[in-house]
Amino acid sequence: ALNFNAGPAALPESALAKAEKEMMNYQGSGMAVMELSHRSKEFEEINERTKNLLRNLLTIPDEYEILFLQGGASLQFSMVPMNLLEEGSIASYVLTGTWSEKALKEAQKVGNAVIAASSKNANYRFIPSSSEIDIPAESSYLHITTNNTIYGTQWHSIPENLPVSLVADMSSDILSRPLNLSAYGLIYAGAQKNLGPSGVTVVIIHKDLLNRSRPGLPSMLDYRVHADSQSLYNTPPTLSIYFLMLVLQWAEELGGVKQLEQLNKQKAALLYDAVDSSGGFYTGHAEEKSRSLMNVTFTLNNEDLTSAFLHEAEESGFIGLAGHRSVGGCRASIYNAVPLENVEKLSDFMNVFRSKN
């Protein structure tokens, strides 16, 4: 399949092939991966290896804890304020799309959360610049969404030297490019785009922030509890973590995040070129400076043409190209595991469809 789904999304073929070979009888144990006890030597090894791979790939310093949690990125919308928003202070959010709106809404249920900047009036076509971000003095943290899966925008420079901790939802662009982790207090990502299958959420948190949690938090919602038990406080999503390990091994073998970034730039350029050279046949949703390397969003001139495009694309084997229901149009999600040749095929298809119509 030429899979352009937004998530769950394409996984590396070689990781799938490896799973097919070893998953049903893990290392000769006579047990499938999903039959292993989470307290077994085998699973503890998987857990540790996965963390180490992530630490190496993203150059995560020792002062940061890596947690594997459940509940998706959506639960982080609540856990972040529950753990980081101190009594009497404010949580500040930059609104760049539906997911940041949701994150803000959940924070407002926990405490005082405000909008520090927003591009909503422009239908989220761009990422606000650092100078447009207004952080109230009493803020505990600033929350951003580094890649906006639905609108197809991405932060290309991160606000630096902030007076508060920076918290980022990186669900749809983690591992797609090198990361200067020291700019962040906490990052989180649901796995089902760049990291693996759904079911596991990665949280990377500076150890200093582990002491801020509100007293009396339910244990499962307390970062400290998960950190103190190496993410084995309760039964973790063992199969998802195993797959995460395979995806990280693939990324390492490929040459790491620098190599992935280069490939991602090459893939995105193919599609944006097809849009830009179409003489207005295709229109990109995002402003050029804010374009995402992960989700390429574009529209055609009218509904009929859009339907014809999506229909013909499906007939030709392209999957998942309809835009999110809240935006419409088309979206091609080209995460790490989407092969360059599939993107070349899509760009060719776009050019041929344009000349025919």
| Phi, psi values for residue 124, rounded to 5° | 55, 40
155 appears as a binding residue in the annotation: no
Q: CA angle, 136 as apex, 131 and 138 as ends, to 5°?
A: 145
The answer to whether residue 155 is catalytic is: no
Exactly one of 152, 159, 190, 197 binds ligand PLP (CB under 6 A); which one? Answer: 190
Does 336 interact with ligand PLP (rule: CB under 6 A)?
A: no
The answer to whether residue 250 is catalytic is: no
Write the single-letter amino acid at 267: K
How far from the centroid of its chain's Cα atoms is residue 179's Cα? Answer: 13
Exactly one of 40, 52, 74, 351 binds ligand PLP (CB under 6 A); which one? Answer: 74
> Least distance (Å) from ligand PLP to the CB of residue 2?
20
Does 272 interact with ligand PLP (rule: CB under 6 A)?
A: no
Asked whether the beta carbons of 233 and 225 are under 8 A apart, the reply is yes
Residues that bind ligand PLP (rule: CB under 6 A) add up to a total of 11
Cis peptide upstream of residue 8 (ω within 30 degrees of 0): yes
Cα 77 from Cα 285, distance rounded (Å) = 26
56 appears as a binding residue in the annotation: no
Looking at 168-176, 216-224, 268-276, 286-294, which segment touches ligand PLP (CB under 6 A)? 168-176
98 appears as a binding residue in the annotation: no
Cα 197 from Cα 10, distance rounded (Å) = 9
Does 139 interact with ligand PLP (rule: CB under 6 A)?
A: no
Does 73 interact with ligand PLP (rule: CB under 6 A)?
A: yes
Residue 30 corresponds to which tokens in the numbers above? 């006579």
Exactly one of 5, 119, 171, 264 binds ligand PLP (CB under 6 A); which one? Answer: 171
Residue 190 corresponds to which tokens in the numbers above? 């649901």
The answer to whether residue 173 is catalytic is: no
Asked whether the beta carbons of 318 and 271 are under 8 A apart, the reply is no
DSSP track, 74-122: HHHHHHHHHHH--TT-EEEEEE-SHHHHHHHHHHHHHSEEEEEEE-GGG
Strand partners, 166: 142
Looking at 114-122, 164-172, 275-283, 346-354, which segment touches ligand PLP (CB under 6 A)? 164-172
Does 172 interact with ligand PLP (rule: CB under 6 A)?
A: yes
Closest CB to ligand PLP belongs to which residue?
A: 72
Which of 51, 155, 193, 267 is the catalytic position? 193
Which of 169, 222, 250, 267 is the catalytic position? 169
- Binding-site residue positions for pyridoxal 5'-phosphate: 73-74, 99, 149, 169, 192, 234-235
Q: What is the contact surface with ligand PLP in residues (CB under 6 A)?
A: 7, 72-74, 99, 145, 149, 169, 171-172, 190
Q: Which residues are catalytic?
A: 99, 169, 193
